[in-house]
Amino acid sequence: MSDAFASSPTARTNEPPLLEVEDLQTSFIVGEGQDVRAVDGVSFVVKGGETLAIVGESGSGKSVTSLSIMRLLPKKIGRISRGTIRLRGKDLVGLPEGEMRAIRGNDIGMIFQEPMTSLNPVHTIGTQIAEVVMQHSKLGKKQAHQRAIEMLELVGIPEPVRRASQYPHEMSGGMRQRAMIAMALSCEPSVLIADEPTTALDVTIQAQILDLMRNLQAKMGMAIVFITHDLGVVAEMADRVVVMYAGQVVETGTVAEIFTKPLMPYTSGLMQSIPRMGEYEEKTRLQTIPGYVPLLTKLPGGCRFRTRCAFAEDRCAAAEPPLEVLDSGRSVRCVRWRELDLKTKATA
């Protein structure tokens, strides 16, 4: 399996890339010894300080990819069945749980869509952040609590001293998300994985959180892996984009490449199916991608998108297309990409 960003600048130097996922395959047991590959041969590189967006619909494998990196897959049913995940050259896949625990928080922080699932309801926000700080540093209780208050202030929570003594349920959704960001960044990780961090928030609160993430990145320099289904958020946040479909990477590129000239019909289909604000003189029909995302247990042979693709031909069914890496460094999984001139917007 080829490295999707083989010709990227970091790859040319001797220093290993910050985070390198290569040929990752994550399998789940779905009953009676049957396995499905929720993530099937995914490769990408995250460079220091950049924002990489992983975009896809439900069942694309984008969240399972992030849980695999964190080694937080549900025990017994989920496992990494192939591939490597290297942090500055060090493979995390076979790492003992104890060592992995030190990496979580210290080197890689993670925030989720619903902060309540990762915040403990019976401890105050301050205590929870202090605990993370103590686990990963030599700071004592008092200093760790002070650090927690500094972090709450950093993420723009007003009255941080008072807020530190509050419980998660006493906070609004936006405040909780800020508190979770404070916790995830308290040990200054070099990578922050953000899995749909604003999906559950109102749009004015989402704007606050996205702004906060950008400011914190400028201040602290961490790389962000931003997992989302929202192309608007991708356009605002990402430097580079990985598009996933049915467990595979189907296209990668810079945000400008992906949004101005998508090469994979799925990417173009997604862009055409989103309604855009203030663009139309008259009512236009939305373009659609026909059909439904296939179940992982019932994938069509050949290209996984072909049953919904307007450009599918016989050869699309013949074999699974490889992820082709272009000279520019971007990549695409489509046997027809050279012949196609894909649109990004629906036209009247």
Partner 1 sequence: MTETSFPTPVAPSDALLDVRHLKKYFPIRGGVLSRVVTNVKAVDDVSFSIRRGEVVGLVGESGSGKTTVGRTILRLGEPTSGVIDFDGADISKLSKPAMRRYRKRMQIVFQDPYASLNPREKIRTVLGHALAVHNIGTSADREDRIVAMLEQVGLSGDYLDRFPHEFSGGQRQRIGIARALAVEPDFIVADEPVSALDVSIQAQVVNLLEDLKDKFSLTMLFIAHDLAVVEHISDRVIVMYLGRIMEIAPTRTLYRNPNHPYTKALLSAVPNPDITARKDRIILKGDIPSPINPPSGCVFRTRCPIAIADCAKVVPVPVEVSPAHFSACIRTAPQPAYGQLAAQDMP
Residues that bind partner 1 (CB under 8 A): 57-58, 172-175, 202-208, 210-211, 229-236, 255-256, 259-260, 269-271, 273-278, 280, 283, 285-290, 292-293, 308
Q: Which is nearer to partner 1, 172 or 328 (CB)?
A: 172
- Cα four-point dihedral sign 122, 126, 127, 131: positive
Q: Which is nearer to partner 1, 230 or 324 (CB)?
A: 230
Instruction: Give the Cα separation of 20 and 29 in Å (integer).
Output: 26
Q: Which is nearer to partner 1, 269 or 302 (CB)?
A: 269
User: Is 81:27 a contact under the CB 8 Å cutoff?
Assistant: yes
Q: Please list, in sequence order, all residues whose beta carbon lies within 8 angstroms of the beta carbon of residue 152, skipping any fewer than 6 positions away.
A: 125, 126, 129, 160, 163, 164, 178, 179, 182
Smallest separation (angstroms) from partner 1 to the CB of 276: 6
Instruction: Give the Cα separation of 294 and 281 in Å (integer).
Output: 35
Q: What is the CA radius of gyration of the chain?
A: 21
Smallest separation (angstroms) from partner 1 to the CB of 284: 8
Smallest separation (angstroms) from partner 1 to the CB of 346: 9
Q: Where are the beta strands (DSSP E) in the chain?
A: 19-29, 35-46, 51-55, 78-87, 90-91, 108-111, 191-195, 223-228, 240-245, 248-254, 324-325, 331-332
Q: Which is nearer to partner 1, 189 or 265 (CB)?
A: 265
Q: Which is nearer to partner 1, 130 or 255 (CB)?
A: 255
Q: Would you report the helix, strand and coil content of the chain in percent, each value rounded to 5? A: 35, 20, 45
User: Is 52:240 a contact under the CB 8 Å cutoff?
Assistant: yes
Smallest separation (angstroms) from partner 1 to the CB of 234: 8
Residue 261 CB neighbour total at 10 angstroms: 15
Q: Which is nearer to partner 1, 288 or 328 (CB)?
A: 288
Q: Which is nearer to partner 1, 188 or 202 (CB)?
A: 202
Buried b (16+ CB within 10 A) or exposed e, 181-205: bbbbbbbebbbbbbbbbbebbeeeb
Q: Which is nearer to partner 1, 81 or 287 (CB)?
A: 287
Smallest separation (angstroms) from partner 1 to the CB of 311: 16
User: Is 68:24 a contact under the CB 8 Å cutoff?
Assistant: yes
Smallest separation (angstroms) from partner 1 to the CB of 211: 6
Q: SS3 for 48? A: coil
Residue 283 CB neighbour total at 10 angstroms: 6
Smallest separation (angstroms) from partner 1 to the CB of 173: 8
Smallest separation (angstroms) from partner 1 to the CB of 167: 17
